[in-house]
Structure formats: C-alpha cells, structure tokens
Amino acid sequence: MAQLFADRRDIDFVIWEQMKGEDALKNGQNNGFNRKTCELMINEARKLAINEVYPTMKDGDHIGVRFENGVVRVPDSYHKPFGILKEGEWGNLTVPEVMGGQGAPSFVGDAVSEYFMGANWSLYSYLTMGNGAAHMIELYGTPEQKEKYVKNLVAGRWGGTMLLTEPAAGSDVGALETSAVKNEDGTYTLTGNKIFITNGEFDLVENIIHPVLARIEGAPAGTRGISIFIVPKYFVNDDGSLGEPNDIVCTGVEEKMGIHGSATCSMALGGKGRCIGYLLGQENQGMKVMFHMMNGARMHTGLQGLAYASSAYLLAVNYARQRIQGRDLASFADHSAPSVPIIKHPDVRRNLLKMKSYVEGMRSFYHYTTQIGLKATHSEKEEDRVFYDDLYSLFTPVIKDYLAVRGHEVCIQAIQTYGGAGYTQDYPVEQYARDCKIASIYEGTSGIQAMDLLARKIGKQNGKIFATFIAEILKSVNDAKQHEGLKDLAGRVESAAYHLGKVAAHLGKSASSEKFKTAFSHSHPFLEGMGDTIMAWMLLWRSTIASQMLSRGANDKDRKFYEGQIKTAEFYIRTLLPSTLGSMDAILDGCGAAVEIDDDAFGGL
C-alpha cells in the first residue's frame, strides 16, 4: 500500500468544517482562490509527494549528504524532484505576491507542507528555507537589498539559512563571539565560526544567502549588542548577476542520528579576512529582526513533528490491517480458529487510537494557531492585532515543543505496532522516529520553550491572554453540552480547563517568588499539561461538529468518519486526560527536589 503521509479526509475536515476555510476565502485576503482551486492544489501536492518526493526519502537516509572539497552534495535523486517543485513554485505558496510568491491561503500551504514534509522533509527544506530569510529582508532591508535578494530566495533559485549557533553560544545567544568591523564603504568585515547550520552549503541552488548574527566592535555585551548581517555565498552585482565568492565557507557536515539528507554544516567566516556582510536593519537590533524568522521556524518545526507523526501513524494503521498474527481474543481457546489482522487485538487498537488522537488533535491545533496568526496580521484595529499577536505568541512554544515531542512519541508507537519488523530498516517507521527526534531540540529545546512559556507568555497583558485562551475552551465546552452524548466529555474538559488555569496562576506566582527555580523546574510539565488540555479541547470541538453532522444524516463513509471523531475524543478525554490532571496536581505540590539536590548527589563521579 502506498504511503499516504496525511489523511486527506481529516485535512478536509479541519480546513472546511472545523476552521471554516470557505469563510476565510471570502474575506478578500486571498484573491483568486476558491475551494475548488485549493483542493486541486492539495491533490496535486499529494501526487507529487507520493510519486516524486517520497522515492528519495530512503536515499536521503542511506546515502545522505557528502562533503567534498568544500562542497556539500545531496543525493543525486534529489535533483529531479527539487527542480519539479521549484518550477512548480511549491515552495512559495503562501508567500505574498509582492515578494514573488503566490499568496495562497495559509491552510493550503500547511496542508501541502504536511505532505511534502512527510514525503522527505530534508528535500523540501532546501526549497523553502529561503523564505524565512526573504521575509526578514522584506521587513527590514533597504530597497536595494529587497531588489537584490528577495525574489530569488522566494523562487528557490537561491537558498537561505540562519547563522546563529556557535561552539560557545547555543541557547545562550548573547555569548556569541562572531565579530563585525565597519568598513569605510558601509559594509562590515565579519570573522567567526558557526555550527549546526541547516543547509549552510548544498549543490541544488546557484547562491546561498546567509543572515548572520554578529557583534559590532564596541557594541554592548549580551543580546543587546547583537546585529544581523546579510552574507551571500557569492556577491550579487547591481545587475543581479553573480560575482566573486565571499569569504564564507563550509568546513564540514555533522553525522547525525537522523535527517541524513539535510546538510548540517560548520561555517567559517573571514578565514582569509575578506568576509563581507551587509547590515540588515539597525545596529544592535539583530535579535528583534531574527525573531521574525525564528517564530516562523518554530511553527514549522511543530508542523514537522506533526508530519512525521501522521506519516508514521498511517503506516502503522495500514500495517495493522494487513499483518495476520494470532487468533481473535474471543476465539483464543479454539486452536483451530483462523489468525486475524493485528488490528483486531485490543492492545493494538488502544495504541492506534492513542496515536490517532494525538495526530488529529495536533493537526487541529496547528491550523487553529495559524488562523490566530492571520488575525494578528490582518485585523483592522491596532488593539486587535496586538491582542491576537500575543495570543499567537502564547501558543507558539506549545506548537513547537508539544507537536515535536508528541510527534516523536507517535513515531515510537508506530514502531511498536510493527513489532520487531518496525525496528528494521525494511520499513520507514524507524527512520521517521530518528528524523523526528531533532524537532524537540533545534529552534529551541523543550526546556527553552517551557521557560519562554512561563517567563514571557502566560503573564501577557496581566494574564488577559491566558484567560482568553481558557474562555475559548469553555465556549467549546458549552457547545458540546448541547449534545446529549457529549455532556460527560464536555464536563471533563471543563474541569481540566479550570484546573489548568489554577496551575498557571500558581506557577506564575511561584516564578515571581524566592522559589522561582522550583517553578521553572516544573515549566515543562506545565507546557505538556497545557498541550494535553488543548488536545482534549480540539478533540471535543471535533466531536461536536461530528455530532451535528450525524444528526443531519451522512453517507456510510462520512458516518464512519464522524463516529470515529466521537470515539477518538471519548478515548482521549476518558483515558489520557486523567493522567494530565495528575501531572497538574504534581505541579501544585511544588516538589523542589530537582533544584535542591546537590550537584555531586547526581552520581557518576
């Protein structure tokens, strides 16, 4: 059976039934797009993912990238599908038309990305990473910089990166040592070394544009003194042609646990003393500029986790339908009874339904959050834009980490469904698990996201933003209570929402007290608890829509889908959510052992 990557029926449900995509198309932001054109684009992306991109996934893993004489070469099989995707402009669907993109609705871009990421994330990332650099230049660049760089980045003719991490400056960006000296012509000479640079060098494009964080001579210490520079691999002449190579080179690539087809590079700037960079924005404003790219990167990392999880789950559920092993439990004593597909065994069904609940809940949460992001951009009133931007920023660390962590867990459980076969390289689920693990690490680890949530997000606007989030859950609870069969589930989600609010208040107060270290030791369990509660909310919301549609009558295929939504919500809310409530109680208990234990008491001396 062909790999599916994402359940098309579920994508349609989220886009058109849950998120009311047709209403979004009527608001004037996406001229020229209607439901039919959107569906055609998603259909075509699915075909390309299956027929062109997925066949390269194993090469990406087994062959990987090769570092030869300063050049990073991707697997040969990458070149043809990369060209097809580039020519078809699949990398810039949602980029505004003014930047050279297609201006498609965000939900189309998200659905398309889910297919391509599931088919081979490393190949797709070579095409799309330039968009982040282009957006920063569009927002903060001079007219000349925009003219030189933006459209080539968006078109995929040039690649883009983000040079942030250094050997002594990972999560602590303020410790970076890359330096910049201003030249008489207004350019800057950069010197330094960067590590873990995704797509820092590869052979699919003509040029690579590197946004680089560095400190100008005499600038303040820490993040306050960081600036950002445009550093092209090849200089770009005024007529748009490529000039001489800049003094920025790849010195090696990392051998990683997964995503072997992705070039993770070490980069040296100014080895010959001639690395030239162009200031982007104002001096000492580099972090402000960079976070416009970082927030988008964190959202897409969450989507990466979802794409892997969805792909692994669909492989597992279809394998369970085909793998014949063991008698049905009802006929276990009858040794003459035929063996059955493993999907008939209760524990396999439990495992599959757990995976299904996470995948579908995460998909709904991702699309919901992107809608909030659009409101932050397009609302008419300034106060509304600020409000939705703060709500979007509340959800961003949860999207990034929760979808990455739970996505990896789904991949692990997909291996479990296969049994010993899943642990071999004969099946792709083990690659999905290895590839997915990085999502909880790069673009800010789990701990970084949790600290950001506690320190900066839950207290936004004196708690108004978090209170609005809880109120949105309660609206869905009230809608569900209108359906007799959902009242019990609604009541359970209501209790969880109130409990989450109580824990947030407790943790916020503790973070402002002398017990602040203890509070932060519980920040990641809180992020997980918030994510778990959001899953319950999304699944209850889904079941409410399903109940409405069933009451109106549905064909046999749709009836099974909608009944499946209600059963999925029932399973999650009644069997998984109670564990979350226990974890919340542990946060309220305030155990300080993690910060009180002596360093030497950890052992290993």
CA distance 461 to 473: 19
Q: Mapping DSSP to helix (H, G, I), strand (E, B) and coil, where does residue 545 land?
A: helix
Angle of helix 382-418 relative to helix 429-437, nearest 10 degrees, comes to 140
Q: For 193, phi and psi rounded to 5 degrees? A: -135, 140
With beta carbons less than 8 A apart as the criterion, state whether 136 and 280 touch.
yes
Give 218's DSSP letter. T
Angle (CA) 114 117 390, round 5° = 60
Which residue do the tokens 């008698």 mark? 327
User: CB–CB of 535/500 below 8 Å?
Assistant: no
Cα 114 from Cα 305, distance rounded (Å): 10
Kindly give the residue spans of alpha helices, DSSP state H, lying in 8-150.
8-12, 21-25, 35-48, 57-62, 79-87, 106-128, 130-140, 143-145
Rounded CA separation 308/407 (Å)? 7
> Do residues 407 and 308 make contact, with C-beta atoms less than 8 angstroms apart?
yes
Identify the helix (H) or strand (E) that includes residue 179: strand 179-182
Q: What is the DSSP letter of 338?
A: P
Catalytic center residues: 443
Phi, psi of 324 (to 5 degrees): -90, 120
Quote the CA–CA distance of 425 and 429 in Å, as a whole number. Answer: 8
What distance in Å separates the CA atoms of residue 427 and residue 410, rounded to the nearest whole number? 16
603 neighbors 529 (Cβ within 8 angstroms): no
Residue 335 structure tokens: 């040794």
Residue type, position 263, single letter: A
Answer for the pair 72, 263: CB distance below 8 angstroms, yes or no: yes
- Asked if residue 326 lies in contact with residue 24, where contact means CB atoms within 8 angstroms, the answer is no
**Phi and psi, residue 574, nearest 5°:** -90, -25
Cα–Cα distance between 112 and 132 in angstroms, integer?
Answer: 17
Chain Cα centroid distance, residue 153: 21
Among left, alpha and beta (phi > 0; psi -120 to 50; other), residue 476 is alpha
